[in-house]
Structure 1
Amino acid sequence: MADPDEFDAFYKDARDRLLAQTYLLTGDLPAARSAVREAFVVGWHHWAKVNARGEPETEVRPRAWANASRRATTRPWHREKDLDPEVARTLEVLADLDWAPRRMLVACEVARLPLAEASREVGVTVEDGAQHLAVGRAELAAHLGLTTPEEVEAALSAVTAPLVDVRWPRPSILRRAGRRRRRVHTVGGVALACVALVVSGAVVHDADGTATSLARSVDRDAPAEEPALGPVPELAESFTTAQLLPSSEVELLSPDSAWTSTTSDNTGGDGLVLPCQQARYADAEGLAGFVSAHRATTPAGTSLRAFQASELSRDPEAATATLQTWASWFGGCDETRAQLLGTYDVTGVGDAALAFTVRVGGPPQSVVTAAIARTGDITTVVVSDAASTESDAREPIVDLLASAVDRVCETEAGGACSGSPALEPRLPVPTGDAPTLLEPVDLPPVPGIDLPWSGTRAATPEQNPAATVCDRAGFTDGFTDPTTRTFVIPDAGLPATFGLAQTSGRLSDQQVADGFVGTIADRLATCVEQDLVTSADVIGSGEYESGRMIVWDLEVRVDEDDTVRVLMGVARAGNLVTQVGFVPAGDADLDDDTFVALVQRARERLLIADPAG
């Protein structure tokens, strides 16, 4: 079993050395710190092997260097106003060196590696390594006016001296991330990838050479132009793409797939990159925002997509509003034929977190799994979009969300980090302007119909369109603010009788509301005797502390020879009641379980409108 004490001691001993080396290689402190952090996460992932070889630093160092070289931006020290001019000059000279001389210089002068070992890590022969080292020393000395080896060493030490004040995450955080990485690594074929939102106009190419970009990640109509985020205060300067999830973590979700990735500040195109996203930024007055997108095709030909969005707000209150906006986008997803499958509280991640599953579009259908968290002033979103509706990406996505939070929680703008993530089902978030009524996102797909549901505006009912000939339920006498709406599927060639209707209202108290439900049940029970229906079967029911629900499958007599199938349900939450009716047309039908679940969702909408119910 891996010994955490040994790893913790190694981490505390080696992290500053590796940070100095990666900073000298790149001049990009955020990228260097992130690179070292990730290298230790991977080190703990493989700690049994790494530690068994006796020199764990020789295992972690190459990964840290490689990570830093991938993430570094071009000459970032130019933006550091308080940087010592001599330090900036040294970084400039190092940046002008070719890659091999720079690495040999850092390996021998800073990491104190013997020439043979340094050459092996750089990937050159000993003879070439010696040549590269001599070039590096000579170039540095010539441009900085140095004359002795001691002066070269002092110049490099001056660059790294201030790094002793860098804050590091606790070892336990890295070990937890390593454990999550191990779990994710074993979940082969889970269709998701976390896309970080980052570089305006960034373009990548698929395996066949076709150019792709964030602007075409999601096909939809472009909204009205929105302003980019305003001037960036000092706090935002440390909020960079290096704090997004690395592509290496995303790619482990399907390691045998060919991935392409893009990052951007999301200022190009229409800004709608993630599924269900409804505006360029959730916080239009935020300080900074980034996105990333990852695409893959598995060897079996299945399409995978994943995304990450991260936004920096001005304070925790604005970040809370940002989280709520993202939640409303997923909870009220406006993608074609989207259906909200589940909403969850996420505990143990950041200051607050939620998760959603949404079935989208088709054919073929896909399942979007999204998780959102706030830590301090930062809101981050992780999303998977899996073409396979059989996969369950909730736990992997929440684990990735925890990793995303841990990358930023200890920054100045951060807040709570992650503990042990857990999912708990909860009520849907409020959406729409009629809180007691269903929304299109609540409605299931109808078999054989590839078009979306469309609902009328909520209105005061002159009569109740959800009532049947049996119950004749009216939402007039004694009701306060009753509302109704109907849903149809336009252009589907269905008869005018097809559709779904709902009416909701509030009565004076719970006892009166329960009596209303009881009256409908009594009328349905005697309806067969009156020969108004040929059958009235209860297909679902439930008793709750705050109310109840009953659902029927009816065969309603039209004339002496014909009947029409009608599904109807009634539910109460507190003193609120709702009735839902559905008339199918041939194969355009809903099975019993699907309709019962829909009536349950209608009751949840009542609870959202009146949580005390």
Structure 2
Amino acid sequence: MPAPADFDTFYQATRARLLLETYALTGDLPAARSAVREAYVSAWHHWRKVSTLPDPESWVRPHAWSSAQRRHQARIWHREKNLDEATIATFEALGDLTPRQRKALLLAELAGLEIAPSARELGLTVDAASTALADARASMAQRLEVAPEQIAHRLTMLGDRLHDTRYPRSTIIRRGGSRRRRTHTLIAVAATAALLLGGGVLVHQNSADVRALGKDSTSTEETGPRLHPNDLLDKTEIAAAVPKRTIATTSTDDNTGGTGRYALCQRDPFADPAGLGTLVRTFTFSGRPTGAAMQAAELSKTPEASKTAYDRLVGWYLGCTETRVQLISTHRLDGVGEEAMVLALRAWERPATTHLVALSRTGSLLTSTTLTERGERGELDVNLKPLVSLIGSAVTKLCANEVGGTCVTTPKLRKVAPPPGDKAKGMLQEIDLPPVTGIDLAWAGTKPTKATNVAATPCTAITFKGKQFGSTRTRSFVIPGADLATYFGITETYGRMASAGPARKQVEQVRAKMASCEDDDLTTEVARTTSRSTKGSDLTIWRIDTELSDKRTLTYWMAIIRRDADVAQVVFVPDGPHTLPKGGFSALGERALERLENLPSR
């Protein structure tokens, strides 16, 4: 059982500070009081988990702040009358700050947090949090005409109006938390009973109807967990991520109308068809390049259901069936929710569009955030920092929900291999392939078969045949419907060897053969463009030009790849001007190396 004495001590030690923080955040004393009470009720509800945290206040504070912001409706300082001039000036100066700057300032000056934990609570990098705090201090000092070191005193003075505040007794707070715990238990039992007695009626009811029944986000009746529009990102947070743009919120809805498709690669309206609610908010921004942003959030019945929905959503993107969409990079994002992933995709239809997608889940909540930029871009590297900032802010808001889970610590990107596709595990997928110059049709891959050495070239020594290979697979990629030469296409072949030693030897044999290829065949020119080796992997790429006649030369690209005991070869043969963009084959070789991680373990 949770210890009431420990909670009572915590409540009495922190409640005044938390009330001052929420009051300074919103300028709305009634909203601040209600939010603080609600936050402590939630804390007792979850005290078994909260009490084990190194700093329980770091759990309660985001709940109180988020609740206070949802509750207050008027402009920041207009809730109260008869404020003195100094208080009005302080609130007006706070009102000039962005939400991020205001929170950074209050965490530093009132909560007393150092920059690293402050950054974690804000869902920012340390550099971004430091910048927000410095900008907030400079703005406040200029507006109030005080030295920066006097800002803390001006904020603390807001507490003069709180001295007479009467806080609910801790027994009342605990009673409210215990009542909520019992209510949630009864709801779960009732739902289970209804499911059993109703012969599965809840399962078979149309999911859109279920969502429609509970979609009135303005209702004040709270009969269970729900999504609220204030749980989503707003214009100020988008503007902070994409500065020097004009941001407009175009819509916020529950995604029960129209086709239900709000994002690239989305297969169904909901990642969790049996979920309890969905909200989607879209933004547009002007400037160069023009673009858009989107956040979607789904509420599932349980954290396990949210995990299943998260995996389904990831699968939609990594198995994208949209025409001419290429996966540029895949990153794990540690420190944001229970798990998070950041993807960069490019849709090569004209005009080309870059889609940066962040996916995360916290408790029973799933969210996806997308930044889209339109216009042709030749480089394959993309800036993921704005998106990381947004998904951190999104999860920070959602984890304050009563069914939220892990919040945000220190976001850290980690480049990883794309998870396996539905077919041809360990091999390239259609979504990995870059566009072909002058061709608007999509790539299509053949079903993997046992290797018959189709990937070999005249210069290579590797045959993917013999007892040294335990298993082999090969597949090719072509563009159906395109008027291209029969030799055009991409072929990949891999073989598994007994151990890393023979695999390294096989790679060295190919490199040696390629180095002597020009001497052995005077009609061939070989240029090595990439070569690197580590204990666990090898990657070498060549361009080969073979003179077929005085007027005709065949050009192709080849990569030899090793990861531990697995060896692969990728060959691309263009058709004249129909070739890959600059750097396209190099990126393909890198992706083939990543994909070898998807092979089943031995």
Q: What's the TM-score bracket when you normalise by the shorter of the two chains?
A: 0.5 to 0.7
- In the alignment, structure 1 residue 444 sits paired with structure 2 residue 434: yes
CA deviation map 1:308-342 (0-9, x unaligned): 11112233233223222222233333332111111
Is contact 2:499-2:564 (8 Å) kept? yes
- In the alignment, structure 1 residue 267 sits paired with structure 2 residue 277: no
Q: Which runs of 5+ in 1 are unaligned?
A: 1-5, 44-50, 68-167, 187-224
Cα gap change, 1:39/1:352 in structure 2, threshold over 3 Å: closer, same or farther? farther
Q: Give, as a single letter, the amino acid of the residue that structure 1 aligns with 2:297.
A: S
Cα gap change, 1:185/1:492 in structure 2, threshold over 3 Å: closer, same or farther? farther
Determine the C-alpha separation between the residues in 2 that align with 1:360 and 1:39: 41
Cα gap change, 1:533/1:597 in structure 2, threshold over 3 Å: closer, same or farther? farther
Is contact 2:119-2:410 (8 Å) kept? no
Is contact 1:384-1:393 (8 Å) kept? no
Cα gap change, 1:261/1:548 in structure 2, threshold over 3 Å: closer, same or farther? same
The SS at the match of 1:336 is: coil
Quote how far apart the aligned CAs of 1:602 are: 0.4
Determine the C-alpha separation between the residues in 1 that align with 2:303 and 2:510: 48
Determine the C-alpha separation between the residues in 2 that align with 1:267 and 1:180: 37
Aligned partner of 1:250 among 219, 231, 238: 238
Q: Give, as a single letter, the amino acid of the residue that structure 2 aligns with 1:329.
A: W
User: Which residue of 1 is the match for residue 403 of structure 2?
Assistant: 413
Determine the C-alpha separation between the residues in 2 that align with 1:7 and 1:611: 54
Cα gap change, 1:473/1:294 in structure 2, threshold over 3 Å: closer, same or farther? same
- In the alignment, structure 1 residue 349 sits paired with structure 2 residue 361: no
User: Which residue of 2 is the match for residue 590 of structure 1?
Assistant: 580
Determine the C-alpha separation between the residues in 2 that align with 1:22 and 1:7: 12
Cα gap change, 1:267/1:480 in structure 2, threshold over 3 Å: closer, same or farther? farther
- In the alignment, structure 1 residue 572 sits paired with structure 2 residue 582: no
Aligned partner of 1:240 among 208, 218, 228: 228
Determine the C-alpha separation between the residues in 1 that align with 2:207 and 2:358: 26
- In the alignment, structure 1 residue 394 sits paired with structure 2 residue 373: no
Determine the C-alpha separation between the residues in 2 that align with 1:459 and 1:494: 24
Aligned partner of 2:422 among 432, 451, 455: 432
Determine the C-alpha separation between the residues in 2 that align with 1:185 and 1:250: 20
CA deviation map 1:76-122 (0-9, x unaligned): xxxxxxxxxxxxxxxxxxxxxxxxxxxxxxxxxxxxxxxxxxxxxxx
Quote how far apart the aligned CAs of 1:17 are: 7.8
TM-score (norm 1): 0.64
The SS at the match of 1:430 is: coil
Cα gap change, 1:565/1:21 in structure 2, threshold over 3 Å: closer, same or farther? closer
Quote how far apart the aligned CAs of 1:465 are: 2.6
Aligned partner of 2:293 among 306, 309, 313: 306
Identity of aligned residues (%): 30
Is contact 2:22-2:68 (8 Å) kept? no
Aligned partner of 2:305 among 307, 312, 318: 318
CA deviation map 1:182-207 (0-9, x unaligned): 76999xxxxxxxxxxxxxxxxxxxxx
User: Which residue of 2 is the match for residue 289 of structure 1?
Assistant: 278
User: Which residue of 1 is the match for residue 459 of structure 2?
Assistant: 470
Determine the C-alpha separation between the residues in 1 that align with 2:503 and 2:206: 47
Is contact 2:122-2:396 (8 Å) kept? no
Q: Which runs of 5+ in 2 are unaligned?
A: 1-15, 40-62, 77-83, 100-110, 136-204, 215-221
Is contact 2:556-2:573 (8 Å) kept? yes
CA deviation map 1:273-327 (0-9, x unaligned): 11222221122232222212222444x6x53111111112233233223222222
Determine the C-alpha separation between the residues in 1 that align with 2:296 and 2:471: 40
Is contact 1:335-1:361 (8 Å) kept? no
Determine the C-alpha separation between the residues in 2 that align with 1:414 and 1:60: 32
Determine the C-alpha separation between the residues in 1 that align with 2:592 and 2:423: 15
TM-score (norm 2): 0.65
Deviates more, 1:410-419 or 1:238-247: 238-247
Is contact 1:481-1:505 (8 Å) kept? yes
The SS at the match of 2:28 is: helix
User: Which residue of 1 is the match for residue 361 of structure 2?
Assistant: 374
Quote how far apart the aligned CAs of 1:19 are: 6.3
Is contact 1:19-1:32 (8 Å) kept? no
Q: Give, as a single letter, the amino acid of the residue that structure 2 aligns with 1:543.
A: S
Determine the C-alpha separation between the residues in 2 that align with 1:437 and 1:375: 32
User: Which residue of 2 is the match for residue 148 of structure 1?
Assistant: none
Quote how far apart the aligned CAs of 1:263 are: 1.7
Is contact 1:184-1:396 (8 Å) kept? no
Cα gap change, 1:515/1:370 in structure 2, threshold over 3 Å: closer, same or farther? same
User: Which residue of 1 is the match for residue 149 of structure 2?
Assistant: none
Aligned CA-pair RMSD: 4.2
Is contact 2:120-2:409 (8 Å) kept? no
User: Which residue of 2 is the match for residue 362 of structure 1?
Assistant: 349
Determine the C-alpha separation between the residues in 1 that align with 2:300 and 2:404: 11
Determine the C-alpha separation between the residues in 2 that align with 1:561 and 1:62: 73
Determine the C-alpha separation between the residues in 1 that align with 2:31 and 2:551: 87
Aligned partner of 1:605 among 583, 595, 599: 595
Determine the C-alpha separation between the residues in 1 that align with 2:357 and 2:510: 39
- In the alignment, structure 1 residue 552 sits paired with structure 2 residue 529: no
* Mapping of residues 196-211 of structure 1, within 5 Å: none
Aligned residues: 452
Determine the C-alpha separation between the residues in 1 that align with 2:484 and 2:572: 14
Quote how far apart the aligned CAs of 1:582 are: 0.7
Q: Give, as a single letter, the amino acid of the residue that structure 2 aligns with 1:246.
A: D
Cα gap change, 1:519/1:184 in structure 2, threshold over 3 Å: closer, same or farther? farther
Aligned partner of 1:327 among 291, 296, 314: 314
* Mapping of residues 115-130 of structure 1, within 5 Å: none
Determine the C-alpha separation between the residues in 1 that align with 2:318 and 2:130: 28
Is contact 2:461-2:509 (8 Å) kept? no
Q: Give, as a single letter, the amino acid of the residue that structure 1 aligns with 2:248.
A: W
The SS at the match of 2:520 is: coil
CA deviation map 1:205-247 (0-9, x unaligned): xxxxxxxxxxxxxxxxxxxx98537578988543223311123
- In the alignment, structure 1 residue 336 sits paired with structure 2 residue 323: yes
Determine the C-alpha separation between the residues in 2 that align with 1:475 and 1:333: 31
Quote how far apart the aligned CAs of 1:397 are: 1.3
Is contact 1:229-1:285 (8 Å) kept? no
Quote how far apart the aligned CAs of 1:386 are: 0.6
Determine the C-alpha separation between the residues in 2 that align with 1:57 and 1:533: 80
